[in-house]
């Protein structure tokens, strides 16, 4: 039995939730940029995404079409990946804008930043195991 039985399988205590204009396109972006996997999607009568769950490596994020009372809003997410440089290039190819190119940081990560087409900032990082 899972220690924190109040958290669904595959989720963590903190789960990012993105409200965007164009949730279906966000999911497509996540698949192209970060090789995400869509796990679940529910839509309203007009076909807009009311709730979706997307796996990025070992974590799940949720998203929906921004609407009242949950309007679109930008978020910032720190995403650990195996290869910062490769992931950064995939994100750029998928339509993200560069915030900063991959670089070794003094806090022990190789990090890059991108802004997705929905205004969210993604801080892509690989932990290098040492802090300068």
| pLDDT tens per residue, range 43-96 | 999 999 999 999 998 899 999 999 988 899 999 999 999 999 999 999 999 999
User: Which residue is associated with the tokens 């978020």?
Assistant: 75
Using alpha carbons only, how large is the chain's radius of gyration in Å?
A: 16
CB-CB contact of 79 with 96 (8 Å): no
Q: Is the pLDDT of residue 1 over 50?
A: no
Q: How far apart are CA 59 and CA 39, in angstroms?
A: 12
Reported pTM: 0.90
CB-CB contact of 75 with 121 (8 Å): yes
Average pLDDT rounded to a whole number, residues 117-127: 97
Sheet with 121-127: list strands edge to edge. 76-80, 121-127, 109-115, 97-104
CB-CB contact of 18 with 62 (8 Å): yes
Average pLDDT rounded to a whole number, residues 38-46: 96
Q: HEC states along 3-25?
A: CCCCCCCCCCCCCCEEEECCHHH
Helix (H, G, I), strand (E, B) or coil at 85: helix
> Which is more confident, 2 or 33?
33
Average pLDDT rounded to a whole number, residues 23-46: 97
CB-CB contact of 21 with 66 (8 Å): yes
- pLDDT band of 8, cuts 50, 70, 90: confident
Looking at residue 2, its pLDDT comes to 52
Q: How far apart are CA 49 and CA 100, in angstroms?
A: 31
Q: Is the pLDDT of residue 4 over 80?
A: no
Token pair, residue 110, equals 């190789």
């Amino acid at each position: 039995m899972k220690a924190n039985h109040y958290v669904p399988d595959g989720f963590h205590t903190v789960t990012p939730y993105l409200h965007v204009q164009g949730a279906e396109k966000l999911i497509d972006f996540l698949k192209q940029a970060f090789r995400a996997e869509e796990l679940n999607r529910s839509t309203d009568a007009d076909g807009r995404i009311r709730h979706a769950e997307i796996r990025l490596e070992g974590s799940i994020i949720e998203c929906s079409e921004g609407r009242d009372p949950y309007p679109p809003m930008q978020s910032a997410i720190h995403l650990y990946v195996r290869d910062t440089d490769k992931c950064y290039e995939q994100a750029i190819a998928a339509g993200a804008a560069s915030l900063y190119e991959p670089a070794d940081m003094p806090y022990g990560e190789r990090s890059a930043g991108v802004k997705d087409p929905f205004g969210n900032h993604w801080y892509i990082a690989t932990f290098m195991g040492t802090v300068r």
